[in-house]
Amino acid sequence: MTALTLAKSLNAGLRRAMEDDPKVVIMGEDIGRLGGVFRVTDGLQKDFGEDRVIDTPLAESGIVGTAIGLALRGYRPICEIQFDGFVYPAYDQIVSQVAKMRFRSQGRLAVPMVIRIPFGGGIGAVEHHSESPEAYFAHTAGLKVVACASPGDAYWMIQQCVASDDPVIFLEPKRRYYEKAEVDTEATEAPYPLFASRVVRDGTDAVLLAYGPMVKTCLEAAQAAAEEGKNLAVVDLRTLSPLDLDPVYELVRRTGRVVTVHEAPITGGLGAELATRITEECFYSLQAPVRRVGGFDTPYPPARAEEDFLPDLDRILDAVDRVLAY
Amino acid sequence: MTEGTFGAPAGEPDLVQLLTPEGERCEHPDYAFDLDDEAIRGFYRDMVLTRRIDAEAIALQRQGELGIWASLLGQEAAQIGSGRAVRQQDFIFPTYREHGVAWCRGVDPLALISLFRGVDHGGWDPADVNFHLYTIVIGAQTLHATGYAMGMQRDGCVGTGDPERDAAVLAYFGDGASAQGDVNESFIWSAVFNTPTVYFLQNNQWAISAPQERQSRIPLYRRAAGFGFPGVRVDGNDVLASYAVTKAALQQARDGGGPTLIEAFTYRMGAHTTTDDPTRYRLQDELEHWKLKDPLARVKAYLTRNALIDDAFLSDLDTEADDLAAHVRAGTLAMPEPDLAATFDRVYAEMTPELRAQQEWFREYHASFHPSGQAADGGAPHAEVTR
């Protein structure tokens, strides 16, 4: 076991994926000599060469579009999108080309590729650097969407995504890049399947559903609630498409109360999908309406206002109080 | 409105031409046609047959059998000339009008038609014929072409000197697509990575109703210079020149010489697709002008003048075209309706539980309308309606 930051875990995971399969290539802006703006690809070009760690021109549609061609040729590209807000120039290539290639070819063509996107706010960045675009991609048939929340998951999930024959949007919680945890890089296989949610804290009074950067915030909220005698469960969804809700349903049936938490704006967000599915599946077990905590339906605010925009302990606990009040 | 689209008359120095509209062979200092007369007969046959496929498809659309059709009428020489210049190991990324190129790749016309009938999104296996699926989003495929060419580089298939191994990618798009960001990004990528990508721009003068002047202030082939690779304008109604220029560009790409932009200066004689009406946006005299440059007529004139074909050849070709049209018609009408339930299996390599549940629900729901069990096996429930 080694204590690694989430960024270094990703780096180690990418390195191992490249060692395991010579067809894996990484492409993106500034990923070579610089090692990426978050240094996630640090040292990889030096060790694997410029043909496998490709510094690209500065054009996101080009990054994803050429990766499709490489995938059609039998390679396994990993695209780095530098920031969440820069993925939109590649939107057509992702939702109309990557997502549909298998379908439109009647299953004959595969584009096994990973599109890594640092997402979410909380780092004091300028505009377009703090967005949460996950719902756009989770809404797109043909894509799979995952979000890692911890260094251990970052290390294993990136390798699992590279090995997947389906295209995967891989969301990295940028505000957690430099948080450390123990990671077993010596293990021979991943401790958890890729498209599976995890109960990261058991509880009896209500359940918090989160992914990516909000998992840690929810665990802190649960800790604070425990000091007031409330016993909250926390689920790290990990996979946003497909959703893995069987463990969630079990908790809902036990607690009857649910709060969903994400940074993305509320309307049409993942929380809405979760609330609907839980209502359809567990209606008679619910003691209160599912409550959503999320960003507001505004564009992401200037950084000095983001603390008020992003869900924090108080907003999560306020929602918990509301569902417990029924 | 239409002034200027006549453009580039024969004899203009920057237009490569090897066969005049009158059917006379001519020379160009940089390009020569290196095949024999038998090959030209073959090109003529290809053009006649693809024009016939096109005519039959338009008829089928008019009769309500196809949802839409994108006609290649007028672009046969550009497509057959370029399509016959590729080698087996080369890979082609078409747009949605490359029926003649598909013909050169051995794709059954019915596999094209099934897309326009609404049966599937393309009925051929790109890996079998090295011809990618038609891409509807304008220009998106040019980036795929560049990426594929990057893969060829990494596979060691460029510049080895082995004619069986060295390969290139041929990417098709139109004058309208030249305005797209993806096409320009593709140019940048191909240039900076020196990929074996040949761009074949069919400038048919009109992007639906927008004339070429609305896409560019300069001749399109000159765009290449700004990206750092050669551009050449070829008479797209001249099958010999289209062949010679494409062959040279592909060889340069295979040798490691990087990309080339070929602008085939041609004309779409019909509508953009069967849904638009060109009489609303262009003048009849423009069409009449281009009819004089008909890509088939000039080859026929050459072959006839030199006694390379006779009535028997033409009569046999007519029969062959009739048979092909009958194949297209009968095959179209016989296409089974697609089974929606089966399409669920093609979304992912690894199906999701949610999608499987939706598929099962749909199967049961659908079967409830057919108590005989006719559709319960996922068969074609409406097939009898169209037969």
DSSP string, B117-179: HTS-S--S-HHHHTBPPP--STTHHHHHHHHHHHHHHHTT-SSSS-TTT---EEEEEETTGGG
Residue numbers of A between 250 and 309 with CB closer than 8 Å to B? none
- Chain B contact present for A102, CB below 8 A: yes
pTM: 0.95
- Chain B contact present for A196, CB below 8 A: no
Cβ(A185)–Cβ(A159) under 8 Å?
Answer: no
pLDDT of residue B314: 98
Enumerate the residues of chain A whose CB falls inside 8 A of the CB of residue B182.
61-62, 65, 92-93
Contact (CB<8Å) A69/B143: yes
Diameter over CA atoms, chain A: 60
With 0-12 CB in 10 A as exposed, 13-18 as middle and 19+ as buried, what is B385? exposed
* Angstrom distance (rounded) from CA B2 to CA B217: 15
**Mutate which of A24, A53, A72 to disrupt the B interface (most B C-beta within 10 Å)?**
A72
- What is the complex's ipTM, to 2 decimals? 0.96
Residue numbers of B between 89 and 128 with CB closer than 8 Å to A? 120-123, 125-127
Cβ(B152)–Cβ(A24) under 8 Å?
Answer: no
For B339, the closest chain A residue by CA position comes to: A106
Phi first, then psi: give them for residue B322, nearest 5 degrees.
-60, -45
Cβ(B142)–Cβ(B170) under 8 Å?
Answer: no
* Per-residue model confidence as pLDDT tens digits over B1-11: 333 444 444 44
Contact (CB<8Å) A62/B188: yes
Where does the pLDDT of residue B14 fall: very low under 50, low under 70, confident under 90, or very high at 90 and above? confident
pLDDT of residue B385: 34
With 0-12 CB in 10 A as exposed, 13-18 as middle and 19+ as buried, what is A182? exposed
Cβ(B43)–Cβ(B225) under 8 Å?
Answer: no
Diameter over CA atoms, chain B: 73
Where does the pLDDT of residue B372 fall: very low under 50, low under 70, confident under 90, or very high at 90 and above? low
Cβ(A261)–Cβ(A217) under 8 Å?
Answer: yes
**CA–CA min distance B192, chain A (Å):** 8
Query: Taking residues B280-305, what's their average pLDDT?
Result: 96
* Angstrom distance (rounded) from CA B120 to CA B221: 35
pLDDT of residue A196: 98
**CA–CA min distance B106, chain A (Å):** 17
**Closest CB to A65 among B147, B149, B349:** B147
Where does the pLDDT of residue B387 fall: very low under 50, low under 70, confident under 90, or very high at 90 and above? very low
* First-last CA distance in chain A: 45
* Per-residue model confidence as pLDDT tens digits over A176-205: 999 999 999 999 999 999 999 999 999 999
**Closest CB to A242 among B125, B142, B352:** B352
Exposure string of B193-209, with b = 16+ CB inside 10 Å and e = fewer, is bbbbbbbbbbbbbbbee
- Chain A contact present for B357, CB below 8 A: no
Contact (CB<8Å) B182/A142: no
